[in-house]
Amino acid sequence: MKQQKRPKKQPEPDKHSLIRLQSDFFQKDATVLAKDLLGKHLIYNSPAGEVGGIITEVEAYLGNQDLAAHSFKGKNKKNWALFGPAGSAYIYFTYGVHYCFNVVANDIGVGEGVLIRSLEPTHGLEVMKQNRKSEDIYNLTTGPGKLVQALGLDPKLNGSDLTTGPIGIYQSPDLKPVEIEISTRIGISRAQDSLLRFLVKNNQFISGKIPKKVA
């Protein structure tokens, strides 16, 4: 028997079915928050429309106990937002070329954050394709610099409140438990053995380099 065609086009998730996460969700250690962020939606209500996707890869950075963290040597002009309240944005400029986006964790002044490394695109695909000058959905948001470019995140949103501002973290009501894969962090020269990179198991939307899989 022949399959019937779906009468309705599907996959765009309905923004209004998503629940915006509030400060109690963010108020925890970066290692815990990192894992909790997997499977949640990162959505930016941009001037060009709503863009974003499901968080599939993250890394935790732990403040003054973490040699690889930007906050290791304390607060300065560049990293001040990392010391803000849990649930705020830390957007930093690196390699003279790219921006990366973090979710601030833990108490004010601790300097913990979660680097968002990869998304599965769900919102505003056309806008993101334009921003990235690529039609390949696997090349839109699979990397910390790429996803900031795809979403068109404005660096002025550094320090902004993710619970009320134009960038938000959302949970789908029908979110299933996420299976998590763990590895060492990528692109750092110190603390290379810490197992602080977390990925949604078996997802295809991961950043370029091969993870040193451990657990």
Partner DNA sequence: CCACCGATTGCT
Partner DNA sequence: GCAATCGGTGGT
Is residue 63 within 8 A of residue 171, CB to CB? The reply is no
x/- string (CB under 7 A) for DNA, residues 147-176?
Answer: x-----------------------------
Least separation in angstroms between CB 25 and DNA: 19
Is-contact 40 55, C-beta < 8 A? Answer: yes
> Does 19 participate in binding DNA (rule CB under 7 A)?
no
CB nearer DNA, residue 3 or residue 189: 189
End-to-end CA distance of the chain: 45
Out of 26, 44, 61, 198, point to the residue binding DNA (CB under 7 A). Answer: 61
Whether residue 194 contacts residue 45, with contact meaning beta carbons closer than 8 Å, is answered with: no
Q: Which is nearer to DNA, 18 or 51 (CB)?
A: 51
Q: Cβ of residue 159: shortest distance to DNA, in angstroms?
A: 14
| Site membership for DNA, residue 137 (CB under 7 A) | no
HSE (side-chain half, CA atoms, 13 Å) at 51: 22
Single out the segment in contact with DNA by CB under 7 A; choices: 31-39, 90-98, 152-160, 172-180. Answer: 90-98
Within a 13 Å sphere around the CA of 195, how many CA atoms are in the beta-carbon half? 8
Q: What is the DSSP letter of 160?
A: -
Rounded to the nearest whole angstrom, what is the least distance from the CB of residue 126 to DNA in the complex?
A: 17
Beta strands 180-183 and 167-171, pairing class:
unpaired
Contact (CB, 8 A) for 84 and 105? no
Of 14-22, 33-41, 69-77, 160-168, the segment contacting DNA by CB under 7 A is: 69-77
Pairing of strands 167-171, 197-200: unpaired
Per rule CB under 7 A, is residue 188 in the interface with DNA?
yes
Chain residues binding DNA by CB under 7 A are 59, 61, 68-71, 73, 76-78, 82, 90, 93-98, 100, 102, 113, 115, 132, 139, 143-147, 185-189, 207-208
